[in-house]
Chains A and B, each alone.
Chain A
């Protein structure tokens, strides 16, 4: 994927970044709006945030990702006190006996695309141009760091009351299980600092360029909207994406299982897709797109984004409704996700779909 390199995040960049974050949310991850407002406040108070290339970090530098964990709907109601993530960061630094040199974004899609920027501005550290998912995923072990045997622990979870808990678990899936329970006690959402890693580890493990990418995506969508063009064409060209389908949503079926909003929607073709249909399966995020006769068109961990046909605005799985005219857009995931370990972590079978992963490019 090609994207202009982002060197600094200033106030006026936040609009693009939040929109690009919503796009990489692939239908889930929560609305980046709250994180955007927090980042804007922090930048107004403390100045812009430097974005650094991971290669510019010393091998022994300490990189710490921060994020929100839990239900985005809760966070839209119970806003943070404001310093929870900073406290989580500080607790983790105290536990490690070392100061962080850079902040890291674990999930470049949804609410978590903007929260680390607020933290970086607040504590005056740079943010690394990269992330752990290249999109949004629902669970914390679903990151490239897991593929490089970097442990989520020690992990700190903090809430607005001043509670901060350090977790040490046997593996990253266990971290997810325990931490998920704690978020409930914290009121449905908490701020976390986890996956502490060295510069050397980060250079191997992270997905590169994610901050630049979401900034570029947001800028393209805004510019194309302003010029009254559908952004999809430029996004396909610039991002190596595939416009998979255009049509109207004809059915949405939702159900809740294990705390996740699962479901599917059926889209009937318009224009050159007239007479065809496609269905999308989702579990918070869109995970599988397939034709009416069951042929897969895009499979997780590849990205499936749903965009408004007129405006190119990303549509979340919560918003999707009968009658929406949409474009289904596929984007290849980072090559790291296409390894055996990556497919095991976030491929179709992990989410309970009975099919093998095939690359987006091979399916289309």
Chain B
């Protein structure tokens, strides 16, 4: 049986068909404004090229920037009710306090604060009040809002109150969907709550999108299961995407990194994905992207859910070059219009690809216009480009070992063969590494919680966390016997006696079936 991997990017929709470890075909077609017809075109092309029929496909994995774009463009976000369980604490900074006005307006800016919440050690700040929550639910119903985000203080330590509050409010709001912050974010209430509200506001869009993907696949007679990729390189079934659309944020760079790892067999490496306008540099640890440890800004809002640590620079294949001394490189780019505007294709704009072609590094288009600058000038500009790439790579380096740099993406000819003391590897199919990354997605389970080690030992706490993560992975569709520990970290908490420690742990396994 065969698998199809899709990556919907800003410019291109890429598709690959894989059989076991082999990439049978990789195709690109322009991303369309409705997304779906681009996906259909790419899959059709891939199936036609390989003469594989739809009934031979066992699964389709899709990576998409759909939901990130909705937030960035403030489109298709639903009015959302934010309910914080905290009183009497946490009144000073209400939900969405640090949001830009336009995005707060896009979700309506509705919030309520109610009794509830826990202390760091699990004690209750106050009990939740059923009458109070019922009254809030009625007020939400009166505003015709059916999307609710609930966030309780210290819910990563104890999520019980968020669950109980949802159950109470559900009685009055039987058709509403509920997002619980403990299922999405980490400690740091504003960032976690922000992520939960954002997630809630995208759930309607998510339902539509999942449905549209299903119909698009059906139109191609693909009746197999399909999955959306999350930003940790693992897969979500359609129910899961409907509940947690934010987990797709930044899945594009993740898929590139995972694909690069798969195509080269390297587990620990730096990956540089050079697109048309920018280069994303990330670090692979044991075949998975290293997660960002600080808060991540999405559309101007601070969030703290799991995201890959990616360093982006404004350098891509279409980056505009002014051959001054020193040359001005970017940040503007002609992007996908390089085929009309790049000098190598008869246009009027000097791009980074012109420089590479002028130096004979790549053989596309016409090298003539770039050569007019003279070899010395071209070399000098290329040295500046190499410097930018080297700095970005050094920044993401994770160990003193000379791990390789994996160069992927359409613009990766810009990457030199050696970066400092690091060798550069260029996989076959480098241009569709992202779609390969989608096709090889696995299933994961994760835990992030504070344990008090005055009652249980560290080993007990770790094994409790691992059991919980494993159960989550199995529930999400992983083969139980394939599950292994991917990452485990325990951070003792500063300023607190009683040996409070925070454990973050993740397991992954192969997809069932």
Contacts and interface: CB of A to CB of B under 8 A. Distances in A.
Interface centre among B98, B190, B496 (most CB of A within 10 A): B496
A71 B494 CA distance: 7
Nearest to A261: B494
B117 A78 contact: yes
A292 interface: no
Given A34-B93, A82-B93, 13 more contacts: A37-B97, A41-B93, A71-B120, A77-B120, A78-B117, A81-B89, A160-B90, A162-B88, A187-B120, A256-B494, A256-B499, A284-B494, A322-B399
Contact of A37 (B93, B283, B397): B93
Interface in A55-83: 70-74, 76-83
Contact of B153 (A38, A78, A254): A78
A225 to B, nearest CB: 15
Contacts of B293: 319, 321
A171 interface: no
Nearest to A71: B495
Contacts of A250: 400
Interface residues of B, number: 42
Given A79-B93, A81-B92, A73 B497 contact: no
Contacts of B501: 256
Interface string B402-432: 0000000000000000000000000000000
Contact of B496 (A188, A319, A321): A188
Interface string B132-174: 0000000000000000000001100000000000000000000
A248 interface: yes
Contacts, number: 127
Given A77-B189, A250-B400, A284 B495 contact: yes
A187 B119 contact: yes
A323 B397 contact: yes
A80 B90 CA distance: 5
Nearest to B117: A78
B180 interface: no
A38 B92 contact: yes
Interface string B275-291: 00000000100000000
Interface residues of A, number: 42
A188 B494 contact: no
B123 interface: yes
Given A37-B98, A250-B400, A73 B89 contact: no
A184 interface: yes
B194 to A, nearest CB: 13
Nearest to B492: A256
A324 B309 CA distance: 13
A316 to B, nearest CB: 9
B271 to A, nearest CB: 15
Interface in A222-262: 248, 250, 254-256, 258-261
A245 B153 CA distance: 41
Contact of A79 (B92, B491, B498): B92
Nearest to A283: B494
Interface string B469-511: 0000000000000000000000111111111010000000000
Contacts of A260: 494-495
Interface in B344-394: 391, 394
A319 B295 CA distance: 11
Given A76-B189, A261-B492, A323 B86 contact: no
A70 B188 CA distance: 16
A310 interface: yes
Contacts of A258: 497
A184 B154 contact: no
Given A79-B89, A310-B391, A319 B294 contact: yes
